[in-house]
Amino acid sequence: MDEIMTGASGEVSRDVELLGKYELGKVIGNGAFAKVYHGRNVRTGQSVAIKAISKRKVVKGGFTAHVKREISIMSRLRHPHIVKLIEVMATKAKIYFVMEFAKGGELFTKISKGRFSEELSRRYFQQLISAVGYCHSRGVFHRDLKPENLLLDENWDLKISDFGLSAVKDQVRADGLLHTLCGTPAYVAPEILAKKGYDGANVDIWSCGIILFVLNAGYLPFNDSNLMAMYKKIYKGVFRCPKWTSPDLKRFLDRLLDTNPETRITIDEIIRDSWFKQGYREINPPDYEFDAKDLENNQNEKCLNAFDIISFSSGFNLSGLFSDYNDISANAERFLSAENPDKIIQRVEEVAKREDDKMLIIKKNWGAKFVGRHGNFVLLILIYRLTDDLVVVETKTKKREVGPSREIWRDKLRPELLSMIYQPEGVNCRDAAPLT
């Protein structure tokens, strides 16, 4: 039986009683700090999906504003191809999103069994663009569109889900761009890799292009077992369509996967395109009031997703990959670690004291400052929690070009830190780009 039904502490049973009208069934999905259950409305018998979010993990990870924004966005979006949020309930320990149940499961599961015909690919792409265009017209950018986040209902129609990484116009900076790194690696637009800011609508369109390619081809346009090699392919934008792709679809994909966001096709242009228009029926959903200014946001919040984790890992640091965008300080480095934060500081402290017994060390929470005996070397270590198991370690150094303290950093302290890098399973970080 599900853990939510049989918690040893009895907390779960109280949750079920408090929820009242819903019975919780089997787990149908898992996330970073949430599980999705099949549920049933006891009074009506209606099937629902219930997303149970741990308050402790949300607060500990600093994602409170993130969850509030997801609720605000989903409660205002009403479109036949977007999963509907029915209600939100909460207990002392958990937050529950009660949502429309998509009986057909993930589109990813269906496509994994084989590619679609061009006609079926077009049908799902039309439904996707209808929903994405609706979101954009209300100032909402999904930022993590992929087949895993596209569900199918009992009629095999598409439903966009998981707005946990969505952004709203209020998060746009003075330059008119978003700057938070979000998305799943294979679906990430090249301008996100460049870390120079991006337009939310443009990156969603790029992801839609990747999805259309996958539907038609059955595989990704940019893929490589080496992540750095895959990023280079994405940045160059060179892909090859399978032989069964029609000339019109090939032309259309070229517009969608244009590496220049300024010339990439827009939603309006997509709807007018000759390939897209075949059999398209425009949907005009009820115009619910949607004011993005009402949404709480935190521009400094950390998006928890695959791309963010990879981009923080030193093994996949992109700052030296694209010379035109290399604005990262040479004395600042970041990487992922699965080590305990206190242990990281302790290990560096032990090496520092062994090499320089006069080094001044100041510690505060998950941070430390190391100052060489003559003040000619300063090292700052700051540690941030990403998940229950992973932390981001940021180091900043201020040092002279010569001297014993520089050698301690280069030969002792830095190697000690690098020995604590998190390496994703199956990835050899020695083959990846070095820290800058």
Q: Per residue in 386-423, pLDDT tens?
A: 666 777 788 887 755 445 666 788 888 888 888 888 76
Nearest to 145 by CA among 137, 280, 153, 131: 131
- Of 2-6, 15-19, 420-424, the range with the highest mean pLDDT is 420-424
Compute the mean pLDDT over every residue in the chain, rounded to the nearest whole number. 75
Tell me the two tokens of residue 72: 């605000």
> For residues 126 and 245, what is the distance between their CA atoms, to the nearest angstrom?
17
Asked if residue 155 has pLDDT above 70, the reply is: yes
Let me know whether 330 and 246 are in one domain: no
Give the pLDDT of residue 295. Answer: 36
Which letter does DSSP use for residue 82 in this model? Answer: B
User: CA dist 4 to 34, 71, 107, Å?
Assistant: 11, 22, 27
Give backbone dihedrals phi and psi of 40, rounded to 5 degrees, phi first.
Answer: -140, 130
CATH of the domain at 268: 1.10.510.10
Let me know whether 272 and 150 are in one domain: yes
CA angle, residues 301, 179, 263, in degrees to nearest 5: 150
Asked if residue 196 has pLDDT above 60, the reply is: yes
CA angle, residues 171, 143, 103, in degrees to nearest 5: 130
Query: Dihedral sign, CA of 121, 122, 123, 127?
Result: positive
Tell me the two tokens of residue 151: 């569900």
> For residues 84 and 34, what is the distance between their CA atoms, to the nearest angstrom?
18
> For residue 216, what pLDDT band results from cuts at 50, 70 and 90?
very high
**Total of domains in the chain:** 3
> For residue 25, what pLDDT band results from cuts at 50, 70 and 90?
confident
Which letter does DSSP use for residue 294 in this model? Answer: G
Let me know whether 240 and 366 are in one domain: no
CA angle, residues 96, 187, 230, in degrees to nearest 5: 135
> For residue 424, what pLDDT band results from cuts at 50, 70 and 90?
low
> For residues 306 and 188, what is the distance between their CA atoms, to the nearest angstrom?
10
> For residues 422 and 68, what is the distance between their CA atoms, to the nearest angstrom?
30
| Residues 6 or more apart whose Cβ sits within 8 Å of residue 384 | 302, 366, 391, 392, 394
> For residues 119 and 301, what is the distance between their CA atoms, to the nearest angstrom?
41
Tell me the two tokens of residue 278: 């075949």
Let me know whether 364 and 261 are in one domain: no
Q: What is the pLDDT of residues 87-134, one digit of tens each?
A: 888 777 888 889 999 999 889 889 888 999 999 999 999 999 999 999
Any domain includes 2: no
CATH of the domain at 23: 3.30.200.20
Beta strands in 91-230 (DSSP E): 94-100, 105-106, 140-141, 150-152, 158-160, 167-168
CATH of the domain at 411: 3.30.310.80
> For residues 280 and 289, what is the distance between their CA atoms, to the nearest angstrom?
26
**Which of 22-26, 81-85, 257-261 has the weakest average pLDDT?**
22-26
Q: How many CA atoms lie within 13 A of 178 on its CB side?
A: 31
Locate tokens 């480095």: which residue? 333
Domain interval for residue 327: 314-431
Locate tokens 């969608």: which residue? 256
Which letter does DSSP use for residue 117 in this model? Answer: P
Asked if residue 8 has pLDDT above 60, the reply is: no
Asked if residue 175 has pLDDT above 60, the reply is: no
| Residues 6 or more apart whose Cβ sits within 8 Å of residue 209 | 253, 256, 257
Let me know whether 48 and 160 are in one domain: no
User: CA dist 425 to 163, 219, 298, 341, Å?
Assistant: 27, 22, 32, 21
Any domain includes 279: yes
Q: What is the pLDDT of residues 359-395, one digit of tens each?
A: 888 887 788 888 877 666 788 888 877 666 777 788 8
Question: How many of the other CB atoms lie within 10 Å of CB of 215?
Answer: 24
Let me know whether 341 and 237 are in one domain: no
Tell me the two tokens of residue 146: 């992929």
Q: How many CA atoms lie within 13 A of 267 on its CB side?
A: 18
Over residues 272-288, mean pLDDT = 83
Let me know whether 424 and 362 are in one domain: yes
Catalytic residue among 15, 144, 258, 308: 144
Give the pLDDT of residue 269. Answer: 97
Let me know whether 152 and 261 are in one domain: yes
Any domain includes 296: no
| Residues 6 or more apart whose Cβ sits within 8 Å of residue 14 | 91
Locate tokens 């741990």: which residue? 54
Let me know whether 246 and 360 are in one domain: no
Query: Dihedral sign, CA of 115, 117, 118, 124?
Result: negative
Any domain includes 353: yes
Let me know whether 325 and 255 are in one domain: no
Question: How many of the other CB atoms lie within 10 Å of CB of 362?
Answer: 10
CA angle, residues 90, 8, 37, in degrees to nearest 5: 45
Let me know whether 278 and 132 are in one domain: yes
How many Å from the N-terminal Cα to the C-terminal Cα in the chain?
Answer: 49
Query: Dihedral sign, CA of 132, 135, 137, 143?
Result: negative
Q: Residue 224 catalytic?
A: no
Is pLDDT larger for residue 69 or for residue 108?
Answer: 108
Tell me the two tokens of residue 99: 């949502």
- Of 165-179, 219-233, 294-308, the range with the highest mean pLDDT is 219-233
Q: pTM of the prediction?
A: 0.62
